[in-house]
Amino acid sequence: MSSLDHVFHALSDPTRRALLARLVEGEATVAELLQPFEISQPSISRHLKVLEDAGLISTRISGNARPRRIEPAAFEAISDWLEQYRMIWSENYARLDDVLETMKTKEPKT
């Protein structure tokens, strides 16, 4: 059973996607993640468990709190999966090499 099952299932819920969107700004505790929502703390904890089981986030122990953070690898897995379909919508399908070339020469960091 592919882990993509869990990844895509986790992403199918808007609350969970919102949690990820918050976590992309940095680590956050359950209390912090809970705040913008109207749902209960146990529900948030369960959503976080689904995200963690999917490998999308991880938990760190910090005294009383359990801050969560994004796990990059899972997103990379999605990107890899999506790659096999990129040719389908890319306008540059016929010139895929050009696309790759463009990616190589993208702006260098300062």
Partner DNA sequence: TATTAATATAACTATTTAGCTATATAGTCA
Partner DNA sequence: TGACTATATAGCTAAATAGTTATATTAATA
Helix (H) or strand (E) holding 18: helix 14-23
Q: Per CB under 7 A, does 39 bind DNA?
A: yes
Closest to 8 (Cα-Cα) out of 77, 107, 87, 103: 77
**Of 63, 89, 106, 108, which one interacts with DNA (CB under 7 A)?**
63
- Min dist CB 73 to a second copy, Å, is 7
Which region among 19-27, 48-56, 75-83, 92-100 touches DNA (by CB under 7 A)?
Answer: 48-56
Say how far apart CA 8 and CA 6 lie, in whole Å. Answer: 6
Q: Per CB under 7 A, does 38 bind DNA?
A: yes
